[in-house]
Structure 1
Amino acid sequence: MAMTPFHPSRRQLLAMIGQVAGAAAMYQAMTSLGFAAESGYSGEPDLQGPRGRRRVLILGAGVAGMLAAYELRRAGYAVKILEYQDRIGGRCLTLRGGDRYTEMGGHEITCDFEGDGYLNPGPWRLPVHHRAVFDYCRRLGVPMQPFINKNNKAYLHSATAFGGQPQRVGHVEKDMRGHVSELLAKSLNQGDLDETVSVEDREKLLEGLKEWGVLDSNYRYRVSDELGDVRGWEIRPGGGLMPDKKPSQPIDLSPLLHSGLWDQLFNFHDYLFEPPMFEPVGGMDRISDAFAREVADVIQLNARVIRIAQNENSVTVSYEDGGRGGTVHQETADWCICTIPLSVLVQLEVDCSDAMRKAIAAVPYASAFKVGLEFRRRFWEQDDWIMGGISYTDLPLVQIAYPNYGFLSDGPAVLQAAYDTSTAGRTFTYSWSTMTPQERIDAALALGRRIHPQYDTEFMSGTSWVWHRVDWSLGCYGEWTDDLRDAHYKTLCEIDHRLVLAGEHCSHIPAWLEGSFLSALDAIRRLDERENA
């Protein structure tokens, strides 16, 4: 294929270098939005404990509520948790064969997986720098396994580029690196960067670009045996009298740029997704189960909170008891920690300051959807040599994630066959929200077969989850902006008389378990300080 001339602008060249070289600039921008902040965890809280017998009522048995109960009990507080659902864990849940849920609108979510595969509708991976999560998993005995976020054998896919054929992640990345290296070498040789690069630095940079981009003696990115050792082979080196090796052919710059695949590479460069990443062995609910083993005796399920009343000395929570016909009961305590999602809390009657009430109402919740499909065999491993990782596409699926467990095993296995959130700036999530559960499965199959044609012969069953149709969360996570944080974040996190909020929405790391952990730890620390002031 002849190379089409391409003359990038300075902005395009810098964007290309940023895509290939890393995400330092994007990390700073994401931190300001609250998505990439480093964990502030410095160890388990050093609580003084109560003066006498003091009771704390916690609303919500997600990880934030159970962590708060775990630490407060250790410090000597009497604790009780009221949980709306008939299960613990909140958004930290895992779907397995036999599970049944009813979403808003009355549709039943079924999961009929026959093997040991599962789908995590909420959190599904853990950055290694989320220290609180890892410390508590260590303390509570939750085993971890590596989570392969980036796999060079996985695919990047455009419905309109390269005849709709998916391209390997590694091929796209190395071709972009090679082309950018060639462009930068040309700029250096033409003297375009003389004002910023010394003669000595120019020579060192050219030498480095030649190696880094696998350029030839004329600083061109072309097919060669050296490139085969980096990019891979069309005919792999063999043994005996096998055919001679043949290096793979790189993709030309212009079609690569117009395909949009190089832009999909940025999904792997965010600071949050730096390797290594991890996941609990057996599913994310292993974390919530571990906390439940410590605090199950203080959890009351099927308790639907309808009002939070407080005065200077106590707080009283009214709730409907689903286990006793929906009769209304009350619990009174010295303090209340509320982890109810703001999207639900805003609909309840809460005695609090006007500023707090405005803060609760100010934060919208992101939408998100996932579809899990079970197949008879691991064709992605056996046919395509994809062992874990994620493929990205511009189809409404957005991404396909391959399991990081059970490698090379026979029998059924589950793909996370579709996933996206509304914070990505796309409208796909709202389309999936309007579908019935079966329509989501059908759509994932119809779209996914364009990347993996094996779908048609290997499909067994599927399940799905749409967070805006979950009545106990009404969305996936708090969707902050800089302006909203400036106006409401401090107020939302402050102790309001006898009430303090906690959860991922009260953190600078929304959507992540670490945000829930850090928020809960900060809330109980400040509560303990107020108790002992």
Structure 2
Amino acid sequence: MDTIFEPIKSKLHEIDSIDYGKPRKKIVILGAGMAGLVSAYELSKLGHEVTIYEASNRVGGRVWTKRFADGQYHEFGAMRIPEAHDHTRYYAKDVCKLDFRRFVNDHDEDDAFYYIKGIKSQHKKALEELIPKLNLTLGEKEIVKRAIANDENLLVLLGTPFASLLEEIKSKSEDLEALFAKGPITSRIQELDQLSLGDFLRRFVNSQDALDLIGAITALEVWWDKAVTMFLRDEISQEPRESNQTGLLDEIVGGLDLLPTTLASKLQDNVNINYGREVISLEKQQEKIQVVLRNTKDKSDIQSIDCDYVICTIPFAVLRRIKLIGLSEAKNRAIRNLSYASSIKVLLHCRERFWESKYKIIGGGSQTDLINRSIYYPSDNFRPMAVRKMSKTKGLHTSFVRYDREVIDKDVSKGPGVLLGSYSWGADARRLGTLPHKKREEVVKNTIANFHPEIMEEGMVDDSASMFWDEYDWAGGAFCFMNPGDFVRYYEDTIAPEGKLFFAGEHCSLDQGWIQGAIISALRTIKDIVSQ
């Protein structure tokens, strides 16, 4: 696996070695998200002159913490960091000196709820309250019964078919390297890349109710049409790589936006950040890259600059509406066709953490097949006493941990907290996202009331906020997410430079949707630039 996941410190050492003794360069970076900030940080350390142009008035891009008036907060964007994501953890811990705490993931809290096909059940009571009311085959019922008897859970319905495929791919180095673009494409990976997640599962799941159940408890139903290779990479990249790793998730104490804001504060004097500057034109010329910028507050204020080197971290969904001149047809094709995922989060600031005080739910999530899909409870009052049970699978969508745990402070449980009332993807995100904010809040509260009627009490929700990433000007979608065939057709063209115009961002990686991917792409781009 070392050939697939190169440690970050070896990458940084290689960059230093390549750059040593060469003339210093002037580099323009478009975008101050994580890819742009990491690029600026590393290049400035090497002594290069860096200028960043950012369209919004903040750093971080899709790393965005929403803070309420009383100091309570939750995340509009990225909210968790897998233990195996060494690049993200390096910048958060080693560079920015930020503190981590355990992120209690969606199936880690056994007192949380399912609400599926109109049936309410706690996770721990699913075998008695949910499964008998579903039209599963005898074989599927037996799989669930055996799993719960072994202290596993319903995720076994997804984990079982995935486990055999994962082991097959990992057992053949040429397929594993091809899956992560570390070697030539193989016939097996080419075949799998044409297969959707839904079509893959239908080979193993015999009843529609079982497929519906998997789709609801993982929220993946809206992504049955996405490439199964995306999920294979996601599962493998979460697996522990060192003996002291367990496959768990963490969050940053104080909010994930502390990562970009702290990193920005550490940029050296040879970095200049310009806010409120949107790119309206990019032209690849014979020797230079011409960038045309417009002041977002004064549309008549237009600036044209000729650049020696440009790192473009603008999402392709946004780049699609920018005038592009001189790019190859292959790059234009990738920009036109690379798929982005829709996502929405609806945050409910509650006057009381009733889920802790009444239901003993400390972190984790509840799942529904309604429009809000996934509900997450805050992990900030969670104290793990011991790990009681870890699932055999370690991937993001198939793993869980059961803890002996307690609240850190019982008084906190009686006070305010932020409930992530909806984390929804795909078509449901778009259906919810087309509504005005107050209507989103109303719809989400009505769905949560099926298992938490307290949410409807007068004044229980005293503030709220939401983010639909499709409608955010500088994102155009939540993250890149490939359709069948996209990897083979577009990935190499997506990451390829166009002369002295380089591309970075999570969409230019195979850790799409993660901060890790943005950082990996940034380091690859830095290496390419200093090599010239």
Separation in 2, partners of 1:140, 1:67: 12
Separation in 2, partners of 1:213, 1:479: 33
Structure 1, 444-453 or 306-315: larger mean CA deviation: 306-315
Provide the residue aligned with 1:157 in structure 2: 114
Provide the residue aligned with 1:359 in structure 2: 334
Please give the TM-score of this superposition, normalised by the length of structure 2. Answer: 0.70
Identity within the alignment, %: 26
Name structure 1 gaps, 5 residues minimum.
1-36, 98-113, 187-207, 215-254
Letter paired with 2:481: E
Say if 2:90 is the partner of 1:135.
Answer: yes
Instruction: Summarize the Cα distance change of 1:487–1:288 in structure 2 as closer, same or farther, 3 Å threshold.
Output: same
Separation in 2, partners of 1:291, 1:445: 37
Separation in 2, partners of 1:67, 1:185: 45
Instruction: Summarize the Cα distance change of 1:313–1:412 in structure 2 as closer, same or farther, 3 Å threshold.
Output: same
Please give the TM-score of this superposition, normalised by the length of structure 1. Answer: 0.70
- Per-residue CA deviation, residues 455-511 of structure 1 (Å, 9 max, x unaligned), is 122221211111111111111111223412212211221121110110011111111
Structure 1, 502-511 or 39-48: larger mean CA deviation: 39-48
Of residues 121, 125, 131, the one that matches 2:80 is 125
- Per-residue CA deviation, residues 17-73 of structure 1 (Å, 9 max, x unaligned), is xxxxxxxxxxxxxxxxxxxx9754432522333732310100000000010011111
Provide the residue aligned with 1:307 in structure 2: 281
Contact 1:375 1:413 in 2 (8 A): yes
Instruction: Summarize the Cα distance change of 1:259–1:131 in structure 2 as closer, same or farther, 3 Å threshold.
Output: closer
Provide the residue aligned with 2:52 in structure 1: 81
Provide the residue aligned with 1:230 in structure 2: none
Say if 2:468 is the partner of 1:466.
Answer: yes
> What is the deviation of 1:517?
0.7
Instruction: Summarize the Cα distance change of 1:312–1:436 in structure 2 as closer, same or farther, 3 Å threshold.
Output: same
> What is the deviation of 1:77?
1.2
Q: Secondary structure at the match of 1:445?
A: helix
- 1:470-489 equivalent positions in 2, closer than 5 A: 470-489=472-491
- Per-residue CA deviation, residues 94-153 of structure 1 (Å, 9 max, x unaligned), is 1112xxxxxxxxxxxxxxxx4322121111111111110011112221211110103343
Contact 1:151 1:387 in 2 (8 A): no
Provide the residue aligned with 2:379 in structure 1: 404
Instruction: Summarize the Cα distance change of 1:211–1:59 in structure 2 as closer, same or farther, 3 Å threshold.
Output: closer
Letter paired with 1:352: L
> What is the deviation of 1:170?
6.4
Contact 2:121 2:129 in 1 (8 A): no
> What is the deviation of 1:166?
2.8
Of residues 141, 144, 156, the one that matches 2:100 is 144
Separation in 1, partners of 2:66, 2:274: 22
Larger Rg: 1
RMSD value, Cα: 3.3
Separation in 2, partners of 1:429, 1:67: 30
Q: Secondary structure at the match of 1:373?
A: strand
- 1:195-214 equivalent positions in 2, closer than 5 A: 212=150
Separation in 2, partners of 1:181, 1:261: 11
Separation in 1, partners of 2:59, 2:148: 56
Q: Secondary structure at the match of 1:295?
A: coil
Contact 2:109 2:365 in 1 (8 A): no
Name structure 2 gaps, 5 residues minimum.
132-137, 153-206, 221-233, 240-245, 382-407
Contact 1:371 1:416 in 2 (8 A): yes
Instruction: Summarize the Cα distance change of 1:266–1:91 in structure 2 as closer, same or farther, 3 Å threshold.
Output: closer
Provide the residue aligned with 2:301 in structure 1: 327
- 1:182-221 equivalent positions in 2, closer than 5 A: 183=142, 212=150
Of residues 254, 268, 286, the one that matches 2:258 is 286
- 1:212-361 equivalent positions in 2, closer than 5 A: 212=150, 264=216, 272=238, 275-295=247-267, 298-322=272-296, 326-350=300-324, 351-361=326-336
Letter paired with 2:56: Q
Letter paired with 2:53: L
Instruction: Summarize the Cα distance change of 1:446–1:265 in structure 2 as closer, same or farther, 3 Å threshold.
Output: closer
- Per-residue CA deviation, residues 404-432 of structure 1 (Å, 9 max, x unaligned), is 1145313211000001111xxxx311211
> What is the deviation of 1:154?
3.6
